[in-house]
Amino acid sequence: MTAPLDPIHPPARLGVLGGGQLGRMFVQAAHDLGYRTVTLTSSPDDPAAQIAHDVVLAPPDCHPGADLESLRTFAERCDAVTIEFENVHAPGVRWLGRRLPVRPGWHAVWIAQNRIREKSFLSRHGFPVPDWRPIRTQADLHRALELPGPLILKTAASGYDGRGQIRLDHPHELDPAWSSLNRAPCIVERVVPFALEISCIVARNPQGHSAVYPVFWNQHRHHILDVTVCPAPIGPIVAATARQIARRIAAALQIVGLLTVEFFVTPSGDLLVNELAPRPHNSGHLTIEAAETSQFSQQVRALCGLPLGSANLRGPAAMANLLGDLWFPHPPRWDAALAADSAVSIHLYGKSSAKPRRKMGHLTILDADPLAAEARARAARAALQPHKSSCPPGRSVSPNLPGSS
Ligand code: AMP
């Protein structure tokens, strides 16, 4: 077996638990470096499975109790394993980790996949978070009533893109809201009146070296990431602080691989950590064109114990997500988007059917002016649906923060 710090050289077989678009882009980056790839996922038509060299068909959250044969087959066919979503089965990751390098390790995944563990970890290490309380019991619920409203109740597990979240104006709405979530373990936190939302992506290799990308500014629509602009218009001090906090969280978690830290930025420039993802992130997709090393290439390097690449930007950029809504009422006009901006890069994930809210692809534009990049990305996306008015072209929101330019 490979010693922990020995690099894993091409053409080793890199496995990814999960077959979605993040896995697909990891596989593409691994192929660029000459690796063989294996994905464990439930369908051969999943985005990563379509292009990996080898597929093990099993649910990506499989565990030794139910799917021992699949995990065994996967372990035999891989030299190292990473993940593309955090809702994998942590004991399954631990089982794999006893047999081959699995990065990130099960413990970081176990913390990040549950909001109670995640917020407890962040609070215990002194990282800034919104005022919050865990809710597991009726006694917890009573203690949570001391938080002044407005509040957000979030299920501890399996919440994403705003699912499993209820906004409450007053603490007395907590009890019925918790019942509507079947009294599942939750956290409740104060609503942060943020000026904008940002994310930082850190790559960390087994030697403990890290590289942090410039800060991403994330704009959501209906709780789903809509547009990312980099660098974020937050001024150098807030940006440096965010990157330093992200690097320190990655070190405290001893993550090997990628860690995404999402923050709220308050109008006075304070930072509060919203959540962690121990993997590449939708906000980092623009690094494929805009950074000297993409987030997926860093994931390959970190997994294989190779030197990390530069996380510097080649230039400012914006990314617009392409959701399934764009397929209705008419399929997107790819020719129109390509004609609208000859510098646009379009990525489609190969999903066979479009559904509203489903992430089907994204597009990226580089421009010396980040807000011009944003306007151009929105315009290229709007060109896909010339008759739709819900996506106004060129809309650009400029936050007003101290020190932002
Ligand atoms: P999450 O799944 O925790 O990332 O939440 C999804 C989105 O809900 C975030 O991107 C924010 O826009 C919003 N949100 C979550 N928590 C809070 C909070 N404490 N205060 C204000 N907005 C929040």
Domains and CATH numbers, the chain: 13-102 (3.40.50.20), 131-190 (3.30.1490.20), 196-382 (3.30.470.20)
Q: How many CA atoms lie within 13 A of 278 on its CB side?
A: 31
| Sheet containing strand 165-168, strands side by side | 132-135, 186-190, 151-155, 165-168
Q: Tell me the CA–centroid distance for residue 189 and ligand 1, in Å.
A: 10
Q: Which ligand 1 atom is at minimum distance from the Cα of 154? A: 3
Q: Tell me the CA–centroid distance for residue 89 and ligand 1, in Å.
A: 25
CB 215 within 8 A of CB 403: no
Nearest-CA residue for ligand 1 atom 12 is 223
Phi, psi of 67, rounded to the nearest 5 degrees: -130, 40
State which of 87, 129, 152 you would mutate to test the pocket of ligand 1, scoring each by most atoms of that ligand within 8 A of its C-beta.
152
Alpha carbon distance 338, 125 (integer Å): 47
Q: Which ligand 1 atom is at minimum distance from the Cα of 189? A: 19
State which of 274, 283, 321 you would mutate to test the pocket of ligand 1, scoring each by most atoms of that ligand within 8 A of its C-beta.
274
Residue 257, Cβ neighbours under 10 Å: how many? 27
Q: What count of residues does the chain have?
A: 405
pLDDT at 404: 42
pLDDT at 160: 64
Q: Tell me the CA–centroid distance for residue 234 and ligand 1, in Å.
A: 19
Nearest-CA residue for ligand 1 atom 5 is 162
Alpha carbon distance 185, 133 (integer Å): 11
Q: Is the minimum distance from the CB of 187 to ligand 1 under 6 angstroms?
A: no
3-class SS at 243? helix
Q: Tell me the CA–centroid distance for residue 178 and ligand 1, in Å.
A: 17
Q: Is the minimum distance from the CB of 220 to ligand 1 under 6 angstroms?
A: yes
Q: Is the minimum distance from the CB of 159 to ligand 1 under 6 angstroms?
A: yes
pLDDT at 108: 96
Q: Is the minimum distance from the CB of 189 to ligand 1 under 6 angstroms?
A: yes
Q: Is the minimum distance from the CB of 118 to ligand 1 under 6 angstroms?
A: no
3-class SS at 3? coil
pLDDT at 391: 42
Q: Which two tokens stand for residue 153?
A: 């109740």
- The distance in angstroms from the start CA to the end CA of the chain is 52
pLDDT at 3: 58
Where the chain has pLDDT below 70, the residues are 1-4, 159-162, 388-405
pLDDT at 263: 98
Q: Is the minimum distance from the CB of 150 to ligand 1 under 6 angstroms?
A: no
Q: Is the minimum distance from the CB of 275 to ligand 1 under 6 angstroms?
A: yes
pLDDT at 62: 87
pLDDT at 161: 63
Q: Is the minimum distance from the CB of 149 to ligand 1 under 6 angstroms?
A: no
Nearest-CA residue for ligand 1 atom 18 is 191
Q: Is the minimum distance from the CB of 219 to ligand 1 under 6 angstroms?
A: no
Q: Is the minimum distance from the CB of 192 to ligand 1 under 6 angstroms?
A: yes
pLDDT at 348: 98
Alpha carbon distance 10, 79 (integer Å): 10
Phi, psi of 70, rounded to the nearest 5 degrees: -65, -45
Chain segment 103-162, per-residue pLDDT in tens: 999 999 999 999 999 999 999 999 999 999 999 999 999 999 999 989 999 999 976 666
